[in-house]
Structure formats: structure tokens, C-alpha cells
Chains A and B, each alone.
Chain A
Amino acid sequence: MSTLESIFWHVLGYSAMPVIFIVGFIGVAAGSLWILSLGVDRDR
């Protein structure tokens, strides 16, 4: 693997981590809002 390719995949790999956490947060938030909308937040 060339140095450029190695840098490219490392940058992409490290960027993947915050993306995974943010996507997880958004997913959990969306799921939670949906559950709340079925009950206490129905009229919102």
C-alpha cells in the first residue's frame, strides 16, 4: 500500500468513528421521539 493510500484510509477510518457515534445518536433520538410521540407527546 502506498503512503498516500495509507493516509487516505487512516483519515477515512478515523473520520468513521465520530460519524458512527453521531449516526447512533440520531438513530436513538429518532427512535425515542417516535416512542414519545405515541404516548405523552402525541399532540406535539
Chain B
Amino acid sequence: MKLVKIFWQRLSRPSKAASGVLLGLGFVGGILFWGAFNTGMEATNTEAFCSSCHAPIVAEIRETIHYSNRSGVRAICSDCHVPHEWTDKIIRKVQASKELVAYALGTIGTLEKFHARRGYLANREWQRMKANDSRECRNCHDFDFMDFSEQGRRSVAQHSTALASGEKTCVDCHKGIAHRLPDMRDVEGWQ
């Protein structure tokens, strides 16, 4: 409490320094703070960071088209699992702070624990994507620019009807596109 009082007294008393010096300190301090904050945000968006807990699931993407393809474009974990818009990203990051507790408790600390929880984890992510109309898919895949003449018959049938009308969203059909599927027995539409 004493420290807070001293801090407040210092803040409320004019400094002997010139206004330019004070403004400069605030300006440089602001840049440093924002740089450090963004660095932290970027660091927690890297594949290496995700792998520190989700190593088995991160390895699985290497077998999919989202990792290796003819054009060399690839998605990393955060491209699909972290919103790109700043506000939504902050909300997701705060939400993810709960996962630190799971890390401390070792909830998926072993391969066996991870496999046992896989269905729950996948289901949560599917629900999140369904609720936001597969927003992270749509960061790259834009319905308006889909060329139906380049798609298979089944894809055209689904995309031109259910997807176009908004009745279904990407993740309703495209589950397990970057990871192996969990036990799908209780998943709607997969029986």
C-alpha cells in the first residue's frame, strides 16, 4: 500500500524534466510495451508453442494438404485455431489461459491421457467453429470465389445448397481435415 501511495504521489507531482522528455519517455515506453505485448501474442501463436502441449496432434497435420501441397501454401495451428481479428483473438487468448491450468494438472500430459481426451477436445473445437460460422476456414477459403467447375459433383451439390444458404458451415462436413478423427460414434451426421 505504501508503494502505491509513493507511486501516486510521484505521478501527481510535476517533474522537473522538460515536457519533451516526458512525452519522449511515454512515446518510447508505449512502443516498447506494445512491441513486447505483440511479441508475446506472436510467440503463443507459433507451432512450437502449440506443440509443447499438443505434440501428437500437431504432428498429424504433416500428412494433410494443409501442411504440404502443390502450391506450397501451408497453415499452422493458429491459422485455424486462433481468430485473426484482434478483439476475437484477445478473447480466445484469455479463454486459452484456462489451458494453463490443464497444463499444470497434466490433463493431457501423456499420450494415453491425450487419446482419452481427444474426442472432448475435438468436439469443443467443432462447436467453436460451428458457432462462429467456420470463421477461421473463411480467412482463406472464400465462398464467393469458389469455382464450382473445379469441384467434384458431391462438393458442388453441398456447397451450392447447404453452404450457400447458410444451413451448414464448413466444419459440419470438413471434420478431421488436418488431424485424425476421434471416435465419431456420437457425432451428428457421422453415424
Contact = CB atoms under 8 A, between A and B. Distances in A.
Interface of A: 1, 6, 9-10, 12-14, 16-17, 20, 24, 27-33, 35-37, 39-41, 44
A29 B30 CA distance: 10
B15 interface: yes
Nearest to A43: B16
A44 B94 CA distance: 39
B37 A20 contact: yes
Interface stretch (B21-29, B55-63, B149-157): B21-29
Interface residues of B, number: 28
Given A9-B91, A13-B94, A1 B128 contact: yes
A24 B37 contact: yes
A36 B10 CA distance: 10
A15 B184 CA distance: 37
Nearest to A2: B127
